[in-house]
Amino acid sequence: MFKIKKIVLMLACVSLLICMTFMQETFAKYVNSVSGTSSMTIARWKILVNNADITSGSLAANTIVPVFAGTTDMASNVIAPLATGYFDLVIDSTNTDLSFDYSISALAGATSSVSDLVSTGYSINGGTIYNFTDYNENITGTIAYGSTTTTIRIFVLWNDDANTQDMDNSADTEAALSETPTASMDVNISFIQSH
């Protein structure tokens, strides 16, 4: 009887081992691993102003060309007190993949013979003319993704109003008679991605 118990116990142990082996495979966790690389396209940021790339940090002097139409009393493309004109900033965002904000200021140049050269207003794409309340206000706006070109026309004037001018008639005459009379405006344009 003891032998039979021993055999039964041994068979039970072998059966338990076989069952545990099958159960281990049955309850095994599936473990696999895989790796890869995610590729993303970075948004393009190539803005041109009057065909000049903004990444250079400055525009060449001949990039912004002022236009003074003249009158019956004044030649075209020259300035004198009360002369009015404009210049265009053509912003090409064809190769830009996002919307962006802009800020533009136009002031008499630091080396300009005429300190009374002021910006008076602007228009966008030939639309409504927005006149400034005060001279030389900043122009701000947003250019939406998908736009191609936006033309901002900035209007300028040789201010000859005694209440707001810096130069009097004598200074105006001296500016015209100087060896190298130049009138210039410093135009600063900044761009930043819209939120």
CATH top-level class of 45-169+176-193:
mainly beta
Secondary structure letter of residue 67 according to DSSP: B
- pTM of the entire predicted model: 0.75
In angstroms, the CA 151 to CA 105 distance is 15
> What's the token pair of residue 44?
């393009």
DSSP 3-state of 167: coil
Q: Walk along the chain (195 residues) and give the pLDDT tens digit of each residue.
A: 667 776 666 666 666 566 566 555 555 566 666 777 777 888 888 899 998 888 877 776 667 888 888 888 888 888 888 889 999 999 999 999 999 999 999 998 888 888 888 999 999 999 999 999 999 999 999 999 999 999 999 999 888 777 887 777 777 677 766 666 678 888 999 999 997
Location of structure tokens 């904000």: 101
Sheet-wide strand order for 149-158: 52-53, 45-49, 84-96, 149-158, 117-124, 129-131
**Residue (of 129, 103, 133, 128) closest to 118 by Cα position:** 133
Sheet-wide strand order for 185-193: 139-143, 100-108, 185-193
